[in-house]
Amino acid sequence: MIKRTLAAVLCAGLLVCPAAAAGAPQVEAGAAVLMEKETGTILCEQNAHDKREPASVTKVMTLLLVMEALDEGRIAPTDQVTVSAHAASMGGSQVYLKEGEQMSVEELVKAVAVVSGNDAAVALAEHIDGSEEAFVARMNEKAAQLGMADTNFVNCTGLPAAGHLTSAYDIALMSRALILDHSGIRAYSTIWMDTIRGGSFQLANTNKLVRYYEGCTGLKTGSTDSALYCLSATAEREGMELIAVVLGSPTSAQRFDAAQSLLTYGFANYTLVDVRPDQAIPPVSVSLGVADTVQPVLENGSRILVEKSQLNQISTSLQLSDGVEAPVEPGQKLGELIVSAGDAPLQRIPLVADQAVARITVPGLFLRLMKTLFLAG
């Protein structure tokens, strides 16, 4: 739907966004992706499938599995987690958990989402699956389910480990799954400052965009000497949420500048619009059915992503089947709503049956014939 143009400057580590939209930013990063949440459309990409170290951006997947466990009721926010020696031994970013210390799931999630606590991430992993190894196996299973073909997780923290790799595209996929299916993560990812341990331990968000970028909803920072500075940043304006992934920026400031530039570009040039048919959708005739017609409806939501410059050019047209034979299944495709900008088609939205239509039986067919003859007489 959206043309992608990558210029030769990519070799210099610069990002070029779709040529169709004006003002594409250039950012310094080893890899980057800008994705729209609802449709999953990629608006910009640079080296999107290069396998790179993600550092603590790994914890997007950790948080995804934790939120799944919370939403499914397998764990509760008030559960008390006893910290193991393994969890307490984690280096890097941490909240200095002690072996045998107890902390609630809610406080541990806060520690992961706000200050990227490696010890808190491992404590949660062990609480959910019994060991970090079992949890990491689940991380890789989830990655496969999401189509993250560039990814292999070795731990749940993002601490340097041989073979622990992913890509900007895959990070966008798991970030989308987290914010799309588990909106409760916002209660944690939008915290700027908070405390744990009854107020005795201060937390300040490592994602500075939460404080100064309008509409920021999260999501996760990361940095190591080898991964450099990484970020998956999410923000929402006017009902559209975007995901900007930046990997391998030279400095912390540059990763935030890069993500901000990408998000601002996306909000300036794209929007989600509700499309409706220019006319009422007529029913489709059904032969040999208990009903003579079936009503087509839009299969999915009618919101589509368009460039703002195309807003005044949007039109729709219907393409419907001349008729179908029973039985008709609910959701059976009956045609398409074609959305265009000027003469260029943008999207085809399936039109499907709103209900089932059973095939008429021989006795039913006989009764229908008798009724027709009776009325004719």
Query: Which positions are annotated as active-site residues?
Result: 56, 59, 116
Q: Is residue 129 within 8 Å of 112, Cβ to Cβ?
A: no
List phi, psi (to 5°) of 103: -145, 145
Long-range Cβ contact pairs of 131-140 (< 8 A, separation 24 or more)? 132/86, 132/156, 135/62, 135/65, 138/65, 139/61, 139/62, 139/65
CA atoms within 13 A on the CB side of 249: 24
Kindly give, in sequence order, each residue whose CB lies less than 8 Å from that of residue 91, ignoring residues fewer than 6 positions away.
118, 159
Taking the C-alpha atoms of residue 18 and residue 265, their distance in angstroms, rounded to an integer, is 11
Query: How far apart (Å, rounded) are the C-alpha atoms in residues 13 and 31?
Result: 8
Contact present, 276 and 238 (Cβ < 8 Å)? no
- Encoding tokens for residue 64? 């995804």
* Centroid of chain to Cα 333: 26
Angle subtended by helix axes 118-129 and 59-71, to nearest 10: 40
211 vs 229: CA distance, rounded Å: 19
Reported in sequence order, the residue ranges of the chain that DSSP labels E, i.e. its strands, are 31-36, 42-46, 80-82, 102-104, 193-196, 201-204, 216-224, 228-237, 240-249, 270-274, 284-287, 293-294, 296-298, 303-307, 314-320, 324-325, 333-341, 344-353
> C-alpha 284: how far from its chain's center?
35
